[in-house]
Structure 1
C-alpha cells in the first residue's frame, strides 16, 4: 500500500503546489535526498548533495548522509572543527561521514541503526536510550530524536542552498519499510514534524524502488512487463529485509496497470546481521577462550563491515590478516591477530544467510527476545527461508488461473534493492536459490532481473517520482491495504479468543466499511478495543470471525479510551456498530456509532506501548480463567460493604479469611478478573479507610493485593493511575502499620507506575536511607533529618528495589548504600530485605523494566563480591547472587565467565537449589516459585513473567 500519512496543517490543501518535490530515504545505514524542479520540462530527478563533516575542519557535499550520530567528548577536537556552514555556534555532535568513520573507533559515543530502534516494540522509542551501551558522559537520545536530527540536518543543508525555497515549504515524500508497523509509521511522521517538515507523505521503500525503475525506463517499460506478470521486489538494507509483490494487470486501452498486492512481515535482518555473524566467528579465532570485552567487540563489529565488503565484492582476495588493536594499559603485546580466508567468509555469510533451502522450508519462528545490541533481530538468519515463506503464504493474492502448482507465488520479474545487493556474490546466490525453487517443472526457467544501477539512491529517486505521480504525471502503482485488520470480540464456544475482520486487504483508499454486527458497549467508563493485523490472511471478508492464530494474526496496541457522552452520567451499556475507513492518503479511521442515535466516537490507535516503559512483558492466561458466579461475588461485595461502607458493622481484621470462606477459595487462587473487580469496589469504598488505623491498614493491604503487579489485564494502567491520584503515597493515620501497608501497596503495583511516579515515591525513601547510611557508617547525620527504624526499612527498601524505572544512577546509589550496610548487627532484622533489594537493583534480567536502566556490570561485580565475603548469609542472598550473576548471553549485561563461575561455586557451597546454579552457569527461565520470590510474593493466577 502507498501507506501515506499526512501531517499537513489545516488549510494546507488550499496552498499552491510547491516548486520542488523532494524524496527522502531515511535509511538505516545511509540517507539520501533527491528532488524534482517542477518548473523544468520533463522528469529530471536530481540528487541533492548533502554537506557534512568528513574530517575535523573539513566539510564536503556527498550524495548520501550516513545514518550515524556522534557526540564528542569534552575538548576532543579543536573549537569549531566540526562546525557546519549554517551553524551559529560550536557543535557538540555531528552526523554523517565523520560520525560513522570516527565513531567506529569510539563506539561508546556513536549511535547507529536508529531506524531499527524506531521499529522496536520492546522499548520506549521516545526514551533516551541510545547509544545502547554508551559512555557514561554521553547524553542519551531516543530513536525518535536521532531520526529527527538526521532530518533536521537535511533541512538545514537544503535551506542553506535554496534560501528562497525552504524545505519545509516543499512537498516531501518520505520513505519507510513496507513492513513498518502503525506505531513506527506514526513516529516517523512525528520525527519529520519535529524537524519542521509538515508537508510530508509516506511511501513504502520497495514501491519507491520500483517507481525508480519505471522512471528510468519511462519509454520502454511496457516492452519489458506484460499483463499477468508478477514482480518481486527484494529490498534488503542494513537493518531490514522487505519483500513486496506487485501484479501487472491489463487496464484501459490495453495499458498495463500495477497493483501492489502483498508485503512481508517486519524483519530486522540485513547487512548489520552479517557484520555481527562474522564478528562472532572471528571472535572465536581471535580469542578462543574468552569473549572479547565490550569495547573490543564493538571495534571488531565495525571492522567486520569492511571485511564483508572486501570478501563479498568483486576480485576478493584469497585471504587477509585481521588485526584488532590493543586497548587500555596493554598497548604493547595486547593486539590480537588472525587470518581469515575467502572461503570462511562465504561459509559464514553466504551459506549462513542465503542457504540453498527448499521452497517448503520454514524459518525458525521462536521469539528472539533482546539480542546483544538490544534489537530483536529475526530469529532465523536465513533470508532465503523467509523469502520462501513469503512466497508460499501469499499464494492466494494471485488470481486463481495464474497460480503456480508449487503452491507459492512464482515471480516473473525480480527487482533487487538495498545495500545488501551491492555484493555481486549475494545477488547471484539469491537469484540462483529463487530459480531453483521452480525449475522442477521447467529446468530452464529463471526470473527476469530488472536493472537497478543505483542501489543507494533508488528509493529516494522513486520517492520523488511518486510525488510527481500524486500530481497526475507518471505511472501509478495502485494499492489496497497491505494487511487485514481485525477487532477482538471475545471467545467462541470452545473458549478460544476470536477476531472479527474489520478492514480486509481488499480495501481501497477512500472505501468505507460498516460491520453488520451490533456490539454492546459501556460508555462513561474505560473500555478497550483489542486490535489485530495479518499480512498473510488477505482474503477474509468484513465481519468474518476467525481464530487468533499467533502465526498468522499479530496483536496491535489496543485502543483504550473512555467514550464520553455529551453529559456526564453513570456508566451505561448501549448498542453500537463499528465503521471503518481507509482514507485517500492511507490512514485508517475507526468510528463507533450508537445504533439508535447519531452519537459517534472516533477511535484512535493507542501508541502508549511505544512511548511508555511501564508496559511490562508478560504472558497471561487470565482470559481463560472464567467469570466468578455472580452470587458469590455479591456475597464478597457485601463483606466489603460491611467492613468499609457507611454502615459498616464488621471488624476489618478477619476480612481476608471471611472473603476466602465466602468465595470458597484461598486468596492465592482468586482469578485476576475477580481481583480487579474487587479493586474497583474498594476504590468506591475508599472513604471507609478513615474509620480507624486498622481499617486503613486492611484497605491498603487488600487494594494493593487486588491490583498487583500493576499490569497484566486490560486497562491496568488506568487502574494504577486512578489509585495514584486517590492516594498520592499518603496515609490518613499516623500509624506505623498504615505507613508500612502503604509501602507494600506501591511495591505490589510498581510495575504499573510510570517513571515520574516512581521517582516521587523514591525520593523521600532515598533521603531517609542516606541519613541511616551516614549514621551507621560514619557516625554523622545529626538528628533533625527524618529516617526510619530497621523494621520500617524492610518495606522501604523492598519498595525501592521494585522501582525498576529508576535510572542506573539512582539504583547504583541505593545498592551501594545497602551493600555498605550488609552485616551491620543493628540491621539484622532487615538482612533478608537488604539482600532481596540488592538483587532486584542489580539484576541482569529485570522483571518489567527496560534494559537501558540496568546497573553497569562492573558495579554489580563488586556487589557480588560483598555477598561472597559475608560470614553469615541469608536465603535471600542466594536469590540475589543468582540475579546479579545470571547468564543472559548478552556480553554487555553478563559478568565475566570467571566471575559467574565463582558465583556458581559459592551457590553450591551454600547448598542453593540446583536450578539457581544452572541459571548462573547456563542461563534459562525461572520457575513459578522463583518468579514469586523475585516479585516478592505470589503472582496472580495465570500471569507469568517472560524475561
Structure 2
C-alpha cells in the first residue's frame, strides 16, 4: 500500500461530526465543509454534520428529495434529518453514540428510535456506519485521487469507552469503507489541538498536572495529563496521560431532558408516556437550551412540541422558558457550587433513564471531578502536583465539549474549582470547541510521524480476567497492566491454571481505572477495596 498523502481526523460526536485533514508534506490543518441535505431536495455545505438520522416513511421522500452529490441513500442524515425529526420525532435517531456505549442493549440490533411504533428502525451501530459513510463519500468526492481508505485516518472516541464500544467503532469504520483506522481519546485530541494552536505556551514550562474536562452531548470524560518540562533538552515538554475517568453518561442530553422536565412541570403538564412525544419535547428543549445559554442569549425561548393522545391529537403545545430559569435548572442542577469534600458516590443503581439510556445518578459534574481527582491522588502526587487533604490541585485546566460553548458553564466550573483551592486554576483555550477534537486527531497523526509531540501513556486501564481461587473465592488476574503500549505483549509468569474441558466456559473480564499498578500475573481479590475500581466487561467465551 502506498504511503498516505493526508492525515485525517474524524470527530464522531454525539451531536455532530467533524472532518479535518492536513497534507503530510504540508501540515496545515483545515476543516472540510460537509455537503448534506438541509431540506428535501436541497443540498448545501455545512462545517459540521449533525449526528441525526431521519428514517422516512414509505413514499414520504422521493429519490430526488434524498439525492446527494454521490447518490441517494435511503435515510437522511445531517441538518435535514434534524429538521425533519423535529416535526416527526418518532422517525428520528439521535444520540446513537450514547447507545454504542450502552452495554445493557444489543447495539447491533435495530432498536432506534427507542420505543417508536414507526418502522423502520436502525441499530446504534448502523447509525454510526451511516455518519462515517457520509464523511467517506464527502472526502472521496473531493479527493478522487486520494481515497479515504488510503489515508492515515484517526477517529476519536470518549476516553471512557470500553472495549466493546471501541470495537463497534472500528467495525463501523470498516463497514463504512474507511478501512483500518486508529482510535484516539477525545480529551487527548483536545489537548493535541491546544498544543498545535498555542505554540510554546510558557505556562507549560512550570506546569506538572493538567486536568481535561470534556462534557459532550452524551458523556463527561475526565483525564489527567502529566507534564515533564523539557526532559530531553530540546525545549519541548513531554506529555503523558496518567489517568482517565470511568464511564459517565452525563452531558448535554441530560441537560436537555432536565430542561424539558422543568418546562412541562412549569406548564402543569405530565411527562408524556409516549416515547415519541417525549423525544420531541427533549429535542425542542435542546434548541431552547442552546439559545438561552449563548453569549447573546435572548430573555426567553419557546419550547414547542406536538402531542398525541385523546386530548392532544396533533396539537402543538408551546411553553416559554425564561433565561434565568434555564440558568437555574442547568447551572444549579449540573454545576452547583460544591465543596472540596463532596464527591459523587459510586452506585450499582442506574440513574435517571431517559429515552432508554441509563444516565448518571448524580448530575453534579463538580462532584464527579472531585471524586476523580481524589481517586487518582497518588498518580497526581507522583506527577508533582500539590495535594491538600487528599485533593490534588491541577496547574492547568482544559475544557472541551459542546456544553462549554455556553460562557456561563465555563464560568461556573471555574468558580467551583476556585472555591476548592482558594484561587483560580489557569484555563487553557481552544480556537474552537466545535473543531478541536477533529483538528487534534489530525495533529496526533502528524505527531506519530515526527511532526509534533506525542502524548504518551499507553492503555488507560489495566485489564483482569476473573478466576476462582483455590478456596473458590473470586479473584482477578492482571493480564494487561495500565500504561501498556499498543502492539506490545506480555507473558504471565509462574502461574498454573486448571481448565474445564468439554463444555462452554466464560472468562469474565474487568477493566481497572484506579491508581494501583499490578504486574502481569498479579492477583487481586474481588473483596479487596481496590476492586471497587473494577468495571465488568463482556466475557470471553469458548465456542
Corresponding residue for residue 434 of structure 2:
456
Distance 2:362 2:470 in 1: 34
Of residues 286, 292, 296 in structure 1, which corresponds to 2:267?
286
The offset of 1:287, in angstroms, is: 3.5
The offset of 1:129, in angstroms, is: 1.0
* SS of match in other structure, 2:410: helix
The offset of 1:289, in angstroms, is: 5.6
Distance 1:403 1:276 in 2: 38
Distance 2:23 2:320 in 1: 52
Distance 2:51 2:313 in 1: 35
Of residues 132, 152, 158 in structure 2, which corresponds to 1:151?
132
Larger radius of gyration: 1
Of residues 182, 185, 204 in structure 1, which corresponds to 2:185?
204
The offset of 1:380, in angstroms, is: 1.4
Give the direction of change, closer, same or farther, for the CA distance of 1:369–1:357 in structure 2 (3 Å limit): closer
CA contact (8 A) 2:511 2:535 kept: yes
- Higher helix proportion, which one? 1
Gaps of 5+ in 1: 1-14, 440-444, 563-947
Corresponding residue for residue 386 of structure 1:
368
The normalised TM-score by structure 1 is 0.54
Matches within 5 A, 1:83-94: 83-87=67-71, 90-94=72-76
Corresponding residue for residue 522 of structure 1:
499
Distance 1:81 1:333 in 2: 25
The offset of 1:227, in angstroms, is: 5.3
Corresponding residue for residue 237 of structure 1:
216
Matches within 5 A, 1:438-457: 438-439=421-422, 445-457=423-435
Give the direction of change, closer, same or farther, for the CA distance of 1:164–1:327 in structure 2 (3 Å limit): same
Matches within 5 A, 1:911-926: none
Matches within 5 A, 1:715-734: none
CA contact (8 A) 1:537 1:552 kept: no
Corresponding residue for residue 478 of structure 2:
501
Q: Quote the RMSD (CA, aligned, Å).
A: 2.3
The offset of 1:412, in angstroms, is: 0.7
The offset of 1:168, in angstroms, is: 1.6
Corresponding residue for residue 336 of structure 2:
355
Of residues 4, 24, 45 in structure 2, which corresponds to 1:61?
45
Give the direction of change, closer, same or farther, for the CA distance of 1:116–1:338 in structure 2 (3 Å limit): closer
* 1:185 and 2:166 are equivalent in the alignment: yes
Of residues 501, 509, 514 in structure 2, which corresponds to 1:531?
509
Give the direction of change, closer, same or farther, for the CA distance of 1:515–1:60 in structure 2 (3 Å limit): same
Distance 1:259 1:133 in 2: 43
Distance 2:41 2:84 in 1: 14
Of residues 252, 255, 272 in structure 1, which corresponds to 2:232?
252
Corresponding residue for residue 114 of structure 1:
96
Corresponding residue for residue 418 of structure 1:
401
* RCO higher in structure (CA 8 A, sep ≥6): 2
Matches within 5 A, 1:645-724: none
Distance 2:203 2:278 in 1: 48
Distance 1:64 1:335 in 2: 30
CA contact (8 A) 1:262 1:394 kept: yes
Equivalences, count: 535
Distance 2:73 2:385 in 1: 59
**Any idea what the Cα deviations from partners look like across 1:117-172, whole Å, max 9, x if unmatched?**
11110011111111112243x22211111111111111112111211111122111
Give the direction of change, closer, same or farther, for the CA distance of 1:154–1:334 in structure 2 (3 Å limit): closer
Distance 2:532 2:104 in 1: 19
The offset of 1:60, in angstroms, is: 0.8
Give the direction of change, closer, same or farther, for the CA distance of 1:78–1:560 in structure 2 (3 Å limit): closer
The offset of 1:331, in angstroms, is: 7.6
CA contact (8 A) 1:527 1:560 kept: yes
CA contact (8 A) 1:283 1:291 kept: no
* SS of match in other structure, 2:541: strand
**Any idea what the Cα deviations from partners look like across 1:534-577, whole Å, max 9, x if unmatched?**
11143334433323256321222222226xxxxxxxxxxxxxxx
* 1:296 and 2:270 are equivalent in the alignment: no
The normalised TM-score by structure 2 is 0.92
Matches within 5 A, 1:362-381: 362-366=343-347, 367-368=349-350, 371-381=353-363
- Greater shift in the superposed pair: 198-207 or 419-428: 198-207
Corresponding residue for residue 901 of structure 1:
none
- Higher strand proportion, which one? 2
Give the direction of change, closer, same or farther, for the CA distance of 1:79–1:147 in structure 2 (3 Å limit): closer
Give the direction of change, closer, same or farther, for the CA distance of 1:264–1:290 in structure 2 (3 Å limit): closer
**Any idea what the Cα deviations from partners look like across 1:261-312, whole Å, max 9, x if unmatched?**
1110111111011000111111112344674644432222111112111222
CA contact (8 A) 2:271 2:278 kept: no
Gaps of 5+ in 2: none
